Structure 1
Amino acid sequence: MKFSKLNIVVFIGFIAIAGVLIMQLLMLNQAYTFEKKEIGEKIHFALQDVVNKIYRDNNSDLPAASPIKKVSEDYYVVNVDDAFEAPILEYYLNLEFQKVKLDMDYEYAIYDCASDEMVYGEYITDNGTSVKNEKKCENCFTKKEGLVYYFAVRFPDLKYSYISSLQQYWIYTGVLFLVLVIYVYSVFLMLKQKKYSELQKDFINNMTHEFKTPLSSILIASNYAVKQPEIEANPKLNKYLDIIIEQSNKLNQHVEKVLNVAKSDGMHRGIHKKEFNIMDSLQLVKDNALLKYNHATINLNSARGDYNIYADEFHFYNIAFNIVENAVKYGPNGSTQVNINLVETPKKLEIRFTDNGPGIPKSHLDYVFDRFYRVPRENKEEVEGFGLGLFYVKKICDLHKWKISIINNPDKGITVTIAIPKKSIL
């Protein structure tokens, strides 16, 4: 199985969060065990002191063996082996439980020799008050064979006490588990989105490649047909073929733009940097733009003409041409003016593309570099496109680690600025 960087990062993140959660569960288990031990010791010591006081009152000697037997987690049997009275027992139980700060409800029962039954004593709340209510569990106390003078103590809320005393640990564990669930869900959504994105990209690539062959055939056939004497002699047919050629060329440009964007999505290893003169490339952009849009005026200004940069010359030409073409297409008909100024600062070289167009509404400036985003325009319905031009420009700038920004000019038009760090200038 091939592991990508994303898969490795996701796996490491999952292992890290799962590891922290496991450590938290181990700490919770350790804290739970410690809490059980601590409460058990408190109960044992308190009951032992109760027995000591009863023997002291009776002026008897303490037995050698421990009189306390733990029957279950919440049930204890204490063999006093000497006479005692119920009120005295209850008083000592309250006193010793308060000493060890055992703040929980309990109930007790005493073995009655006459009836040979366990006689229910009282249900004592955590504040030492006896109550008579439905919480009593007289059937919970069973006889212990072989003993005569003994009593039993039961703690009905002991298990809940463990949980409540570890409330902080439970909260931390719950939060960590929630983080793990959110992480797994987010990764699942991300991988799902990545899969859809790859499917979409593959579809666009295949679709645009499939368009190239029929478009090329249409253009070749149309260019051949328009030169035929029969077509040249027929104004209508000549006009129709011109329309076919013009629209085919426009569609071909859109297909090329889509292909360029699709390529730029995975272009970290597809950028081929080399040294070239930036002014020569911008001059070529100007010349080709004027051939296509002869009604525009394009000015290229620079303090010096020997700026050599280390970048991908092909994609630099494409993004510069994209910016200039947008300025001309959306500029005023017949009087479009584009100024390309190179301004050098101590840390960077800025290429500023300024036009005299209508500008961009402020509410749309933050979105012009988004994929498929097109600024609504009232008087430019005839200008077609997919909203990929500036997205492609931004993508190439990001791959070169250049900064690009766009602002409205104070008077009219916009300025697109590409900032190239000095380290890229040779």
Structure 2
Amino acid sequence: MRFTKLNIIVLIGLFAIIGVITTQVLTLSRAYRFEKKEVGEKIHFALQDVVDKIYRDNKNELPNTTPIKKVSEDYYVVNVNDVFEAEILEYYLKAEFQKVKLDMDYEYAIYDCASDEMMYGQYIAAGGKAAAGKARCANCFTKREGLVYYFAIRFPNLRYNYITSLQQYWIYTGVLFLVLVIYVYSVLLLLKQKKYTELQKDFINNMTHEFKTPLSSILIASNYAARQEAIENNPRLNKYLQIIIQQSNKLNQHIERILNVAKSDANLQSLEKKDIDIIETLSLVRENALLKHEKAAISISSDKESYRIRADEFHVYNIIYNIVENAIKYGADQPSVDISVKQTVKGLQLLFTDNGPGIPDAHIDYVFDKFYRVPRQNKKEVEGFGIGLFYVKKICELHGWKIGIKNNERSTGLAIAIAIPKNNIV
């Protein structure tokens, strides 16, 4: 696998999440072991106090060895070594378990010497109340050889209580696993989208280059034919040939624009910044636009005769011409474009306003998206590829400028504002 910046970031993020989850699982394991130890100690201390009280009631001395035998995790046998009453045992069990705050179900059985059997006592629910409806497990209590006076106690829901007591840890662990699943899914979607984007760029580059070769041949042949005497002397043929040349140049401009956008997306384009006069650039755009659109009216207003900024002259000219040409193409029958340049607190603002129909509010937020075209009626002859304003915004972002668009509130048309920060002003 080729280690690009994206792949490295994805791997680091994956290792970080796996590390956090591993730490959480280890913490959960330690908390589980600690909970088991703490509950075991509570049970042992409570049973020891029960034995102490029974021995004290019988006025016997406590044995040197512990009378409590842990048979399994949830099963204990307690040797009392003297007679005792079942009611007193149950009372002591409730009192001592309540004292150590051991709130869980348990059941007990007492060995009967006469029948030589374990006599089932009672099922006590959490809180110390007898639960008659609970499922009893009388067969779970077995005799212990060598003991005469003893009782056995069992905690049927002990393992479940361990899990519920660690509820907070389980929630954190579950959330982390959910984050990992979402992260992996998002990365897969991102890589899939990246693959599609690269295929799209390759297709655009190949398509435009394949178009440019025959288009160049058409332009060369058309320009050569236009200079022939027979064509020059025939107004109709000359007119048709000029249409061919004009539309070929227009198509060539579209292809160049697509190539520029594709290069910009691939970060293959570097800006060649230098000091330029933005007023001169605006004037040049106005002159060239008026040559192509004779009916248009373009005005430039500025509070200074000259504003010098540091920018890429080629791309700045392109984005300004693109904005002006869009205003003319989609404008009124007598298109008018007003360009104002003024200094603000944060830098310099270029404001382009026109007298066109504007853009519906449902579409205005998407005009800078690639390939997005605003639905228009009776304007199919001027529809483009939906990359003009995307290119404008891309170049502004590469310069560190901000661009915004909105419908004029007091009149028809659009207002496009480009904010140039102070550090770009010379």
TM-score (norm 2): 0.92
Residue 362 of structure 2: aligned partner:
363
Q: Tell me, in whole angstroms, the C-alpha distance in 2 between the residues paired with 1:276 and 1:128.
A: 88
Aligned to 2:275: 275
Q: How far off is 1:21 after superposition?
A: 2.5
Tell me if the contact between 2:263 and 2:269 (Cα under 8 Å) persists in the aligned partners. Answer: no
Greater mean deviation of Cα atoms: 138-147 or 111-120: 111-120
Structure 2 match to 1:17: 17
Structure 2, unmatched stretches of 5+, are none
Separation in 2 of the partners of 1:128 and 1:381?
84
Q: How does 1:145-294 map to 2 (within 5 A)?
A: 145-232=145-232, 237-267=237-267, 270-294=270-294
Matching residue of 2:48: 48
The residue that corresponds to 1:62 in the other structure is 62
Name 1:417's counterpart in structure 2. Answer: 417
Change (3 A) 1:354 1:129: closer
Within the alignment, does 1:385 sit opposite 2:384 as a pair?
A: yes
Unmatched tracts of structure 1, length 5 or more: none
* CA separation of 1:380 and 1:133: change in aligned 2, threshold 3 A: closer
1 CA distance for matches of 2:101 and 2:301? 87
Deviation at 1:274, TM superposition (A): 1.6
Q: Distance in 2 between matches of 1:94 and 1:422?
A: 79
Q: Hey, what's the Cα distance between the residues in 2 that align with 1:149 and 1:293? A: 113
Deviates more, 1:225-234 or 1:266-275: 225-234
CA deviation map 1:267-322 (0-9, x unaligned):
38612212222223222212221222223232333333332211111110100110
Query: CA 1:91 to 1:345, structure 2 compared with 1: closer, same or farther past 3 Å?
Result: closer
Q: Distance in 2 between matches of 1:192 and 1:306?
A: 49
Tell me the residue number matched to 2:346: 347
Does 2:405 correspond to 1:406? yes
Aligned to 1:112: 112
Separation in 2, partners of 1:359, 1:52:
92
Q: Which residue of 1 aligns with 2:125?
A: 125
Within 2, Cα distance between the matches of 1:127 and 1:344?
Answer: 77
**Residues 252 and 72 (structure 1), Cα distance of their counterparts in 2 relative to 1, 3 Å cut:** same
Amino acid at match of 1:318: N
Query: 1:170-211 deviations in whole A, cap 9, x for unaligned?
Result: 222222222222222222212221221121112111111111
Contact 1:407 1:416 (8 Å CA) reproduced: yes
Aligned residues: 425
TM-score, scaled to structure 1: 0.92
Alignment of 1:130-149 (within 5 A): 130-133=130-133, 135-149=135-149
CA distance in 2, matches of 1:278, 1:131: 89
Indicate the larger mover: 315-324 or 222-231: 222-231
Determine if contact 1:268/1:399 at 8 Å carries over to the other structure. Answer: no
Identity %: 69
For residues 127 and 381 of structure 1, do their structure 2 counterparts lie closer, same or farther at Cα, with a shift above 3 Å needed?
same
- Structure 2 residue matching 1:206: 3-state secondary structure: helix
What RMSD in Å do the two structures reach over aligned CA positions? 2.2
* Equivalent position of 1:318 in the other structure: 318
Do the aligned partners of 2:358 and 2:413 also contact (CA within 8 Å) in 1?
yes
Deviation at 1:145, TM superposition (A): 2.2
